[in-house]
Amino acid sequence: MSGFSADWLALREPHDLRARSGEIVSMVAASLDALPSLQIVDLACGTGSTLRALSPHLPVRQHWRLVDNDLGLLGRAKAMPLANHVTVAATPLDLNRDLETALDGPTDLVTTSALLDLVSNTWLDRLVVEIAARSIPFYASLTYDGRIEIAPGDPADGEIISAINAHQTIEKGFGPALGPAAAKAAIEGFERVGYIAAHRRSDWIIGPRDRDIQEAIFSGWADAAGEIGLAPAKAASWLMRRREFIAAGLSSLRVGHLDLLAAPIGKR
Ligand SMILES: C[S@@+](CC[C@H](N)C(=O)[O-])C[C@H]1O[C@@H](n2cnc3c(N)ncnc32)[C@H](O)[C@@H]1O
């Protein structure tokens, strides 16, 4: 399952929804509650997970500009059923090249989810500058922050986790990726331009019954560890032991994420 495939996004969405910080969502809604209608831009929207998660918490008329460079995912996002007070426009853009175009036009809120760990420090700085220049609040959910806890423990877990965190920094189309450093860099970046950055943990807490997502995560991690240089036999035997724990109904996992609301002072 690829990192951006519709199947993977569908598998992770219920876990994302459970993990999202309700406090940050409430702060996002409060930051917008004086406005009679909303123009929202969702960067790297995938199939529309942030729209589905956030729009029910915003009681006013909303128009979402959904931006992604994957036409298949955008097509699915555009086809989703919507409440009467929500409209969407799908905008195919490469955000590495055309970030400024994506932010063009009247905008009350910029959102994204599961994107910031993929981008480079340079691109993040550009995003911060462009958003601050427009004085818009920014809601970024589910930024991976490097914390992983797996139970029951296995002697190779530490090596696998280090390999995954190294793999996270490989270029994903935006220059060298921030990976686990992204959440902190985003907070600091927005604070530097005078924004208030509220953040809360939004960890995936995945239990023994969540077998499908564990299988997908662990096999993806074994591949990633192999790509970064871990001996293939070591990664394969780790995956075999993890699969035995999953099959026995014993395996659980926490993956650390952070949700962020960055708002110009006076707008939170
Ligand atoms: C991990 S997925 C997250 C999708 C969605 N936000 C969610 O939470 O389900 C990352 C998304 O970034 C998009 N993406 C990656 N590189 C991009 C680029 N250069 N321009 C626009 N979108 C990009 C992918 O197509 C994918 O939809």
| pLDDT tens string 8-19 | 999 999 999 999
For ligand 1, whether the C-beta of 175 sits within 6 Å is no
In 150-258, which residue ranges form alpha helices assigned H by DSSP?
157-167, 182-192, 211-227, 232-247
What count of other Cβ atoms lies within 10 Å of the Cβ of residue 229? 9
Q: Over pLDDT 70: what percentage of the chain?
A: 98
Apex 77 CA angle, 71 and 78, nearest 5:
90
pLDDT in tens, 52-69: 999 999 999 999 999 999
Say how far apart CA 57 and CA 45 lie, in whole Å. Answer: 18
Number of the ligand 1 atom closest to the C-alpha atom of 3: 1
For ligand 1, whether the C-beta of 246 sits within 6 Å is no
Residue 33 one-letter amino acid: D
Tokens of 119: 């981008």
Q: What is the pLDDT of residue 267?
A: 55
Tell me the whole-structure pTM to 2 decimals.
0.96
Q: pLDDT band for position 265 (50/70/90)? A: confident
**What is the whole-number distance in angstroms between the Cα of residue 44 and the centre of ligand 1?**
4
Does the pLDDT value for residue 231 go beyond 50? Answer: yes
Q: Mean pLDDT in the chain?
A: 96
pLDDT in tens, 92-118: 999 999 999 999 999 999 999 999 999
Does the pLDDT value for residue 268 go beyond 50? Answer: no
**Residue keyed to tokens 């589905």:** 52
Residue 199 one-letter amino acid: H
**What is the whole-number distance in angstroms between the Cα of residue 38 and the centre of ligand 1?**
23
